[in-house]
Every structure is written in structure tokens, then in C-alpha cells.
Structure 1
Amino acid sequence: MRIDMHHLAGMLAAAVIASVNGLAAAPASGQAIAFEVGAEEEGDIEPWGGGRRVTRVDLNSMIHLLDLDESQTSAATELFETYSAALRDASAKFNEWNQAWTKLNPNWWSDSDKEKEHQEKQKLYNEHLEKLRTKLLEDVQLLLREEQQANWERVERRMRRRETIAAASIGAASGARADLIAITEQVFAPDDVPSDVEPVLEQYELESDRAMKALQEWHEEWRTRWEERESEASELSQEEQMQLGLKFMREAREKSLELRDVNVRYLARIGAMLPEMQRDKMEDRFYRTAFGYAWMMGAARGNQVNAERAFAGAEKAGLTEEQRAQLAEIKKQYHRESRERAKKDAEAIMEQEEEFAKREITSLIDMMGAFDYMAIQKMTAERQRFEESVIERVRSLLTPEQIEKAGPPLQQETMPDLEFEE
């Protein structure tokens, strides 16, 4: 396979621009960039797509951490809905402008003057979003009593954690892309977190916040440096773009290792304090979040080869008591082996990332050689085979009628015959 070095250099530079500016990079084909604000699911992390945003997850954190009463909750929710409407309006206006701009200037990113003009509009958009964000947070604080104000710093830490994790997606160490507090909230109801775990989570919050502040400050330094060189950025050669991208990704990996280590250390510490079922759930969510590409199957088959979907389908297929007992045993074995595989894969990935951080990276070839991509592909292939073997075990429990009720992936798709009339 021949590697297009110029194309890869451009991709690296685009990734740097996207991360340091907190914006979606311009698509190579020149189509309009979409900055859409949609409804969030509980626990989702909002990616940076045009400045910092307050999300519904942040609102729920405020309600919980500040112990807002019914009246305060209603007022804060109303403020948030007003903010969200303004955010959608700003997004729609920017999209409308951007689509018209792209139509009139289909190759604007290759024209330094046009690119600068576009960046100025993006900056204006970001500044407007930041003003909306600041006003919302100030208005919410006006609702608080004095004792609630004392906890506002926890709200800021929670928001900083979400924003930093989202911004750290480019080049960051795998284990840095997880938030143990969010994971704990997904495993336990707010009032069900064990009392001895809560002080450990508070320690984690403080220690991880220090690492996140350092990562955020580093991102800000890069953003400032980029803005200072913005006028000459379009004049950089392909080699200079490549070196810029390599430098950014190397530093991103180094800066995020501390956060990864905090996460791994506290995962083990909290897990040791939990009953087996809750510990397993926490580890499951952590590995899925932090090491997703090794945890999940190959991208080619995606969600079609997923034992969890097979379990859910089987449970809706009208099982007998004996079948339910057999399915429960398969699920138990699956989850145990799945976690063991995830831990092994995660350890291998972390070892590679630590080795990468020590290497002298001077070229894209060095960058590509810093990871054993064949080993990563082998992990995903083995994962896929493992999932398929579990699905086959579940399928063997069911009657043809039950398999039909269960649907995919238990119900296998068949290829139609290709026939032609003579």
C-alpha cells in the first residue's frame, strides 16, 4: 500500500487546528461544516464543535451538586432552555452563513486570504457562544444561597473535566478519555453510592482536576501559539505541517499520561471497595470508554456482531426457564472473559503508549512505527471472533421460531441468489 505523505501531513495539520481551536476541521472536499446543537442523552460527553458549551449533563450536575430546591431547579432549567434556544439560533445562523460561503468559495482553504476571513467568522461565532455560556453561569449563580455558592467550584471542576476529556481526543493517551465520576453515576443512583467510596471519589475529583488543569493550560498555550502564527500557517510547507502535527500529538500523549495514570489508579482503588457486580460494571464502562477501539469489534462489522445485542434479543424470544438459566450462565461467562480480555488489551495499549512517549519522533514513518498497528488489528479480530462464538452459543439454545423473534445478530442474514432469466 502506497502512503500519500502529503495527504497525511495535511490530515495531521487539520487535526491540530481542530483541537487547538476547538472547531471542526475543514473537510477536504470543501463541503459545508455543520455545527449542530442537538439534545443530549444522559451521561454523554459533548464534543467541542465550536467553543465551550453548557450541556444538559452540566445542568444535572448543578442540580445534584448544589442541592437545588424545586424552585431553584425550575428556574435553572428555564435559564438553560433559554440558553439552548440561543445556542441553536447561533448554530443555525453560522451554518447558513457557512453554506453560502462554501458555495461561493468552494476552495477557500487553499486561499490564505479567504481562509483568514473564514477563521475570523469562526472566531466571532466562538466568542458569541462564550458570551452565552458566561451569562447562563452567572444567572444560575444568582439563584444560589450562600452555602450553595461554596460548592460552585465543584460544578466548575465537573464542567472542566467534561470539556477537557472532549478536547483531549486528539493524540491523548487512551486511559485519559474517561471520567470515573461520570462512570460511577452510571453504575449507581445518586443516593446509592457507598459511603466509603464517596471520600475516595472526592480525592479523585481533586487529583484528576489538577491533571486536567495542566492539560487544559497546555491546550491554551497551543491555541495562543497557533493564533500568533495564524497569518503564516497557510504558508507552511508540507514538511512543516507534518512536523507541527507530530509535535502536537507527541505532546498531547505526554501531557495526558498523568491523567490516564490517575484514572487507572483510582479505578483499581474504587473497584476494590465494591461488591463484585458493581466493580464489574465500573470496569466494563471504563474499558469501553477509555479503550473503545480494542474493546469493540472491527469497524467493518461494527454493532452487528455484538453479544450484548444477542442477549437482549434472546430475552425477548419467549424463553423457557431452562433456557433462561442457560442464558444467564453464558452471560456470566461472557462478562468475566470479556473483562479479562479488555484488561489484557488495555495493558498492552498502555505499554505501547508509554514506549511511544519515550521515542524520538522526527518523521511520519517514526510516528506510524511507534505503535504496533498489526497487534491492534489482531485485538479487534480476536474480539470479533470471541463475540461471534458467544452469539453462536446463544443461537444454539433457541428454536428456529425463537431465533426469528430475537432478530439480528441471532437471526443471520442470508445473501440472495443471483439469477438471470435465459
Structure 2
Amino acid sequence: MKVEGIFPRTLRALARGRGRWAFGLLPVGLFALWGGWFTLAPTTVYERSVQARLELHREVYAIDSPVEGRVVKTQLELHRSVHAGEVLVELSREHEERQVAEAEAVLQGLGPQLEAARAQLEAEQSALVEQKGQGVAGVQEARARLSEAETVSRRAQEEATSTERLWKRGVVSEMEWGRARAELERTLAAEQASRAALASARLGGTVQSTERRTRLAALRGEIARLEADESVARASVARLREELERRIIRAPADGVLGETSSVRVGAQLREGDPIATVVAGGSVRIVAQFIPASSLGRVRAGQRARMRLEGFSWTEFGMLKATVVAVASEVRDGLVRVELSLDELPLGIPLEHGLPGMVDIEVDRATPSQLVLRTLGREARRGGAPEGREPKS
């Protein structure tokens, strides 16, 4: 006997009961999965900015005409890339070139004069040393002759005295006495001459030394004057070359010509006339504004962030990856300024100053249950605060 035939209604009822039991377990499983996610799964917490934009830090150099002159060459083209030191405009400089040539000629002429004066000074110094030696030798020789003459004079004096005694005694004749006196006078005259020669040798050496020292002093003065003239001429050449260089207007830095004036060849420029501006390249940063209550103490340097740019779909272009580099310590206009460095720029997004967007900064990681509890706690504190006052965080 088949059981299905005996109890068909009973079997159909049991089948219907098993289906309801299976469908009853499905919500329980889904709730368990949601509960596990709600209490255990960590989630990144982002703090969103009120506003944000890209800022391109660039230096702008204004170029003005440093001198007055006529334009003879120009390479000014709007938005053209230039390098530091590149010639942009040349002014006429024929007059300045002539002045430089004249000053250089004067400077070159002073060189040989200075060399000749120095050589003459060296020769005079050598001659002075040699003259001193000769003067000393001449004085010594004159002194030796004087000494010899004095010796001869003393001997003649002794002989004259002895002859005079003998003449008075009548031993020698008057002629002998006369010859002795004549010899004495001759030796005295020779001694006097030797003495005068010694004085002359001394005086002559002094006079010659004085004259040579005078020439040396004059030469030193001439050399000093020439050296001063050379210094003035060299400074004049440097100044004129600088004036000449100022008539060549160069780019002050690498960058792009952001603005140019209508400077044409043949135009007359006045000193201070604007010529162009060079916009130098710089780093790209993100500047974002946050609400103080939610950012102070939570947003810190080193945190990772992302930025969505307005006008560029993040599903197509992606997001900009960034890192917090600085957080303002003071509130301005009711907001906190945060600067972020750009770590990666998706392809297709131009680096343009002022592109707006929104920034999300990773400030925490927490489970959904923790986030709910925090929200309830904040709402409770707000509800318990006196009317018109915010609770202290």
C-alpha cells in the first residue's frame, strides 16, 4: 500500500510547511550578515571640505625697459616658452659701444706707461744702492789720504822745528831752514786739501743720494697716479659694459611669456616702459576649506585624501590622490585652511590654476556601529545644551 494514496492531504500540508520554514530562515541569515558588518567591518571615515581648488604656485616677473633706446631686435611672442638669460629685446647700442672702445683704449695705454715707470723705479733703486756703496768707498779713500797727509805734516813739523833750532845755533844755513819751512807749508797745504776732499766726498754722496731719492719719490708718485688712472679706467670700462649689457633685455627665469606689449623693431622705448611678463612654473597644491568643528584636531599633516574636480566626472577621469601637508591653526572667515600636496594626477586633467572641486580626507577608521554611537552621542550632547549655546566638544 502506498502512503501517498492513503494520506495525500497530510503530505501536501507537510510540503507547504517546509517551504515556509526555509523562507523564514533567509531574513535571519541576512540580518546576521548585516549585524556582523555593522559591528565588525572597519570603514574609512572621511571629512569633506566646504570648498577646494587647485592652486598653481607661480612666480610672475614683470620686465620693464631699463634704459631709453630704439628697438633693433625683438623676440616677444605671447605664450612662448623662454629660458633664463634668453634675449628678448635688443636696443640700439652704437654710442655705448664707442664709449666702451674708447675707455678700453685708455686702459690699454696706461698699462705700458705703468710698466715703464715701475722699471725705472727699480733701476733707480738699484742705482741708489750702488751709489751708496761708491760713496762709502770714496769717503774711506779720502779719509785714508787725509790720514796720510796728517802724518806727513807732523813729520814735516818735527823736521822744521829741529832745523830751526839748528839754524839758531848756526849749525845749518838759512837756506836749509828755508827749505824746511817750505816743506812744512807744502805738507800743511796737502793736509788741508785732503781734508777738503774728505768733506767734498761726504757732501757729494749726500747730494747725489738726495737727488736720487727725489727722483725715486717722483717715480713713486707717478706710479701711484698711473695706478689710480688705471683703476678709474677699469671701473669706467666695467660701468660702460654694464650700461651696454642693460641694452640687451633678457628673460629673468624659465617660464612662459604671459603678457607682451606691442614692441616693434624701430620703436622708441623710454626707461620704465613695460615690455612683457614671464610666468615661471611652480608646484601644484590643493587648497581646501573645512568647518572648524569637524576638522580641528581631526585633520592632521600626513593624512591621505582624494579630490573630485567639478567638470571632470570621477567615473571617467578618476580622483586626484593627495596628502595633507599643512593645517591652519587659526580660523579665518569661519573656515579652516588646509593645504594638500598632489600625489597623482589622472590623465586628461589639465593643470590649471583655480580648478574647483571637493576634498575628502581620511580622518579615522571605525565600524558602522561606532559611527552610529558617535552620532547619537553628539545629538544627545546637543539636545542637553542650554538654548542658544553649543555643547563643548
Q: TM-score range by the shorter chain?
A: under 0.3
Instruction: Give the TM-score taking structure 1 as reference length.
Output: 0.17
TM-score, scaled to structure 2: 0.18
> Considering only CA atoms, is the larger Rg found in Structure 1 or Structure 2?
2
- Larger relative contact order (CA 8 Å, sep ≥ 6): 2
Tell me which protein shows more strand as a share of its residues: 2
